[in-house]
């Protein structure tokens, strides 16, 4: 699709191309093909404005980089004369640490306490999810789903949340089928970090405090016997915000005025602070800078350490390789398990296109 849009612009005589996060949903092979195309266009004299938070892409493609932070220009540098570490420091104003899953050092109790969830598909001719497979989500483990968008990721999340139902697709908790509907799945301890924080993760006109209470407004500490507990909910919201690095002074501000990173922190804070045993995170770092990504990664790993089963659905290859305990690929609605020996960009990229072996 990106190539088609570029060709359309060139056909109209464009000499300046503005690309905003053009690789967000591409496989590694598709990203490399797009990079080759952009290099050729640069060689032909076209000007390209490449907007990205992916430092690796900036290093490979760009001649010059300008860092923006909070609407202000921080620096403009020649790419060959800088490093990723310097760019990260300029982007965040502090050093950013790489977060990795240290599963070998994780407490063994985290995998023995908590509920085990699974989803079974017995639907050979389904439209989005099809075939005969079972996906197990173990407590204290991060199960990752890789895949190009449109292969059933959205539907998988919606079945787990109770938004969809099908007699051939079962969602189980400790071997027992969950009650139908969203409310039933929420009561069974399922939390969800949406890939679109603005349209399905937050009510932008509501305050941060109100957004934190959205899913549990009828229960403590938000309310009692049908009455809202303003003081109690305020204290709870303040504590949650402090724990997740959201400025408490913005408690009454509409969520819509926050930066993308802080909006995502509100969503993550709400979903992790509520009682839950399964966390479904769909592209939780899409469009976020390296500092916000660091915060989200740390939250997922800490949740996992507490014995929560985490399902990470992501199109970001480095994210999958850094965080996952087990990786599956979802291709044309069917699950394929990727053996650890194939945990590299090349093998995963081929698997995303339905090429290669699986376990």
Q: Where are the alpha helices (DSSP H) in the chain?
A: 2-11, 28-43, 55-61, 84-92, 153-161, 182-187, 208-212, 230-243, 260-273, 290-305, 317-323, 345-352
- In 3D space, the residue among 36, 35, 100, 128 whose CA is nearest the CA of residue 300 turns out to be 100
pLDDT tens, residue by residue, 172-188:
999 999 999 999 999 99
Model confidence at 313, pLDDT cuts 50, 70, 90, reads: very high
Residue in 129, 120, 117, 125 with CA at minimum distance from that of residue 280 = 117
Per-residue pLDDT tens over the stretch 187-221: 999 999 998 899 899 999 999 988 998 888 887 77
Domain end (from 92, 111, 140): 92
53 and 135 in a single domain? The answer is no
**87/110 same-domain check:** no
Segment 20-46, tens digit of pLDDT: 888 877 777 788 888 999 999 999 999
Query: 89 versus 100: which is more confidently predicted?
Result: 89
One domain, residues 23 and 115: no
Last residue of a domain, one of 49, 67, 92: 92
Last residue of a domain, one of 41, 58, 92: 92
Is 256 inside a domain boundary? yes
Q: Is the N-terminal amide bond of 221 cis, ω within 30° of 0? A: yes
Same domain, 248 and 176: yes
Supply the pLDDT for residue 103. Answer: 66
Kindly state whether residues 74 and 115 are assigned to the same domain.
Answer: no
Instruction: Show the domain range for 202.
Output: 103-352
Say whether pLDDT at 113 is over 80.
Answer: no
Please report the pLDDT score of residue 108 as a whole number: 46
Is the confidence at residue 304, as pLDDT, over 70? yes
Look at residue 193 in the predicted model and tell me its pLDDT. Answer: 96
Predicted pLDDT at 109: 47
Q: Are residues 214 and 249 both part of a single domain?
A: yes
> Residue 248 maps to which CATH number?
3.40.50.300
Claim to verify: residue 319 and residue 216 sit in the same structural domain: yes
Q: Would residue 359 count as lying in a domain?
A: no
Give a yes or no: residue 358 inside a domain.
no
Identify the pLDDT of residue 91. Answer: 82
Written as six digits, the tokens of 191 are: 């939390």
- pLDDT tens digits for range 327-356: 999 999 999 999 998 898 888 888 888 876
Q: Give the three-class secondary structure for 21.
A: coil
Quick one: pLDDT at residue 67? 92
CB atoms within 10 A of CB 226: 6
For the chain, the helix, strand and coil percentages under 3-state DSSP, each to the nearest 5: 40, 25, 35
| 73 and 124 assigned to the same domain | no
C-alpha to C-alpha distances, 205 to 154, 253, 254, 255, 257, nearest whole angstrom: 25, 9, 5, 6, 9
What does the angle CA 209 – CA 214 – CA 220 come to, to the nearest 5 degrees? 80
Instruction: Specify if 251 maps to a domain.
Output: yes
Question: Over the stretch 217-262, which tens digit does the pLDDT of each residue have?
Answer: 887 777 888 788 888 888 888 888 888 888 766 788 899 988 888 8
pLDDT exceeds cutoff 90 at 3? no
Q: What is the pLDDT of residue 9?
A: 83
| pLDDT over 80 (residue 72) | yes
Q: How many domains does the chain have?
A: 2
Where residue 104 falls among pLDDT bands split at 50, 70, 90?
very low
Residue 304 lies in a domain: yes
Rounded distance between C-alpha atoms, residue 121 and residue 119, angstroms: 7
Name which of 345, 312, 306, 308 is nearest 327 in CA terms: 312
Q: Based on the domain organization, do 211 and 237 belong to the same domain?
A: yes
Of 77-81, 107-111, 115-119, which gets the smallest average pLDDT?
A: 107-111
**Tell me: the pLDDT tens digits for 257-280?**
888 888 888 999 999 999 999 999
What is the pLDDT of the chain when averaged over all its residues?
87
Beta strand 142-146 pairing with 326-331: parallel
pTM of this structure = 0.80
20-29, 62-71, 128-137, 282-291: segment of lowest average pLDDT: 20-29
Residues 155 and 69 in one domain: no
């Amino acid at each position: 699709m990106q190539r088609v849009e570029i060709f359309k612009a060139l056909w109209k005589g464009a000499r300046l191309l503005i690309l905003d996060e053009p690789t967000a949903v591409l496989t590694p092979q598709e990203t490399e093909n797009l990079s080759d195309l952009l290099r050729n266009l640069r060689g032909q004299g076209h000007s390209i404005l490449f907007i990205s938070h992916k430092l690796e892409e900036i290093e490979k493609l760009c001649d010059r980089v300008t860092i923006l932070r909070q609407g202000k220009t921080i620096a403009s540098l020649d790419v060959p004369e800088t490093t990723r570490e310097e760019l990260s420091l300029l982007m965040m104003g502090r050093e950013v640490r790489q977060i990795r899953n240290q599963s070998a050092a994780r407490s063994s109790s985290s995998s023995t306490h908590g509920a085990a969830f699974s989803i079974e598909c017995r639907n050979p001719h389904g439209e989005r999810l099809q075939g005969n497979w079972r996906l197990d989500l173990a407590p204290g483990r991060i199960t990752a789903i890789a895949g190009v968008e449109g292969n059933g990721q959205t539907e998988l999340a919606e079945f787990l949340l109770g938004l969809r139902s099908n007699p051939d697709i079962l969602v189980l908790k400790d071997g027992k089928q969950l009650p139908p509907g969203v409310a039933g799945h929420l009561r069974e301890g399922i939390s969800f970090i949406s890939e679109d924080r603005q349209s399905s993760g937050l009510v932008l006109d509501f305050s941060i405090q109100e957004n934190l209470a959205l899913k549990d407004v009828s229960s403590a500490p938000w309310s009692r016997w049908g009455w809202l507990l303003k003081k109690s909910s305020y204290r709870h919201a303040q504590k949650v915000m402090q724990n997740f690095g959201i400025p408490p002074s913005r408690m009454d501000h509409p969520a819509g005025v926050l930066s993308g990173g802080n909006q995502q922190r509100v969503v993550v804070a709400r979903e992790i602070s509520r009682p839950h045993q399964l966390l479904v995170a769909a592209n939780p770092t899409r469009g976020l800078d390296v500092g916000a990504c660091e915060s989200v990664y740390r939250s997922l790993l800490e949740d996992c350490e507490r014995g929560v089963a985490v399902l990470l659905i992501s199109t970001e290859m480095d994210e999958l390789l850094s965080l996952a305990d087990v990786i599956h690929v979802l291709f044309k609605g069917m699950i394929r398990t990727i053996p650890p020996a194939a945990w590299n960009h090349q093998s995963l990229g081929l698997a995303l296109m339905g090429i290669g072996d699986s376990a």
